[in-house]
Amino acid sequence: MSSGSVVRAVVRGVGHYLPTRVVPNTEFEEKVDTTDEWIRTRTGIERRHFAAEGETTSSMATHAARAALDDAGVAIGEIDAIIVATSTPDLTFPSAASMVQAQLGMTRGFAFDVQAVCAGFIYALVNANALILSGQAGRVLVIGAETFSRILDWSDRSTCVLFGDGAGAVVLEKAEGDGSVADRGILSSELHSDGTYGDLLYVDGGVSTTGTAGVLKMQGNAVFRHAVEKLADTAHTALAKVGLSGDDVDWIVPHQANLRIISATAQRMGVPMDRVVVTVQEHGNTSAASIPLALSVGKSRGQIKPGQLLVMEAIGGGLVWGSVVLRW
């Protein structure tokens, strides 16, 4: 294809926000029958951040968005759309994205939430890419933000030790490419869901059922098995769509749920762990926030550099899963 013939959605900036309260594994030893040793060896998690009273998904998302706008050198007036991936919005409605829009002082453009649990950021990126490729928007703030600490069952040791709060954001903007895999931006993606697995990971409350927010329930073992199988498959498929393989990948930026899942996926893809961005030890599982957090932390650590090939992959309640191949 000739030069300048293809529209690409390129990451122009990235940022994140973590609440100040850091909770080490040892704090859980006082609450439930668990140990720091069990949590570290079974999950890789060492600590996580929990939102302060009054801190919400939209407030954390707004902090992350500001950091991404700063990094991009883009003013809020230059943004056409805001997408927030979250399963823990401030209110049933308006959307967290509308709240972020208000907090950023943006009165033009449009804003909406995407709910695909831990795969939410992948789904949001794919939507933002489609908006850019269709000409609906030129520049989109794509945010993953969660306050899972508000939907945890503090008496369930098999789930309450796993999750954390936080937010990450990217500014995605229209650019021109030549249609080759050397282009910067989103090169390929793949989405899946299978609602028949809904009982493996869900929250037991909601607007039209209990009228409450509910708490998280998970059959960890079963989700683990699906994750190991499905994450490598979706990443392989997305790479193969554009003629690439694990060998071409500079960084896997995985959903950060469990270090054992992350390493098993990397192994199945034939990618060594020194080419995987790992933040799970610091953040725990932050659901839709985990990949943009890992992108932002990976960049600030000096791991992710311009021109490198990234594959992001995630799975979450639904089950929903998917991947995005992106040249940074």
Active site residues: 118, 255, 285
Task: Give the residues across from 16 on adjacent strands.
Answer: 168
Selected range binding ligand UT7 among 32-40, 52-60, 246-254, 268-276, rule: CB under 6 A: 32-40
- The distance of closest approach from Cβ of residue 297 to ligand UT7 in the complex, given in angstroms and rounded to an integer, is 18
CB 191 within 8 A of CB 313: no
* Tokens representing residue 73 in the block: 């050198």
CB 255 within 8 A of CB 315: yes
Decide: is 224 part of the binding site for ligand UT7 (CB under 6 A).
Answer: yes
CB 269 within 8 A of CB 131: no
How far is it, in rounded angstroms, from Cα 155 to Cα 171? 39
**How many chain residues interact with ligand UT7 (CB under 6 A)?**
20
Judged by beta carbon, residue 66 or residue 260, the one nearer ligand UT7 is: 260
Decide: is 197 part of the binding site for ligand UT7 (CB under 6 A).
Answer: no
Among 72, 124, 140, 261, binds ligand UT7 (CB under 6 A): 261
Helix, strand and coil in the chain, % to nearest 5: 40, 25, 35
Angle made by CA atoms 201, 32, 209, in degrees to the nearest 5: 35
Interaction with ligand UT7 in 270-309: which residues (CB under 6 A)? 285
- The distance of closest approach from Cβ of residue 76 to ligand UT7 in the complex, given in angstroms and rounded to an integer, is 31
Among 57, 258, 265, 323, binds ligand UT7 (CB under 6 A): 258
Query: Nearest to ligand UT7 by Cβ — which residue?
Result: 220
Sheet holding 320-327, edge to edge: 185-193, 320-327, 309-316, 251-254
Interaction with ligand UT7 in 51-110: which residues (CB under 6 A)? none
Binding site for ligand UT7 (CB under 6 A): 34, 38-39, 42-43, 118, 157-158, 161, 220-221, 223-224, 227, 257-258, 261, 285, 315-316
